[in-house]
Structure formats: C-alpha cells, structure tokens
Amino acid sequence: MIVRSPCIKICNMDHETGLCEGCYRTLEEIGRWTMYSEDERKSIRLKIEERKISLGKPSFKNS
C-alpha cells in the first residue's frame, strides 16, 4: 500500500511548534518524504495524528 503525502497545500510553518499548519509535519519530514520507506511514512502518518490530538486539532481518526 502506498502511503500518500499528507500535504493539503496549506504550507505555513508554525514557529512555536515547528510544524506545518496544513499537514503537521516538520521541515525535515516534508523535505525527506520522497526518500522515506513506506514503513517510515506510515510511522510519520501516525505521529501526525498524535500531534493533531495533542494540539486539539481535528484528527482523521476522529472524523
């Protein structure tokens, strides 16, 4: 299964969290996305959901 990029074309970095306000990835995760293995991408997608929950944002798992 191909793990797609979580990018939603809202590319603004939050200086407090260090995360993109659209996809909740770090700059490193964004820049290296195409180099990650599918397992690494899955891991990042799980981290994104955890980040959303911890920040009180809507989560894919909760919708």
Cβ-contact 24, 6 below 8 angstroms:
yes
Q: What is the pLDDT of residue 58?
A: 79
pTM: 0.87
Residue 54 pLDDT > 90, yes or no? yes
Rounded-to-integer distance, Cα 39 and Cα 16, Å: 28
Q: Which of 2, 57, 61, 63 is nearest to 24 (CA)?
A: 57
Mean per-residue pLDDT over the chain, rounded: 92
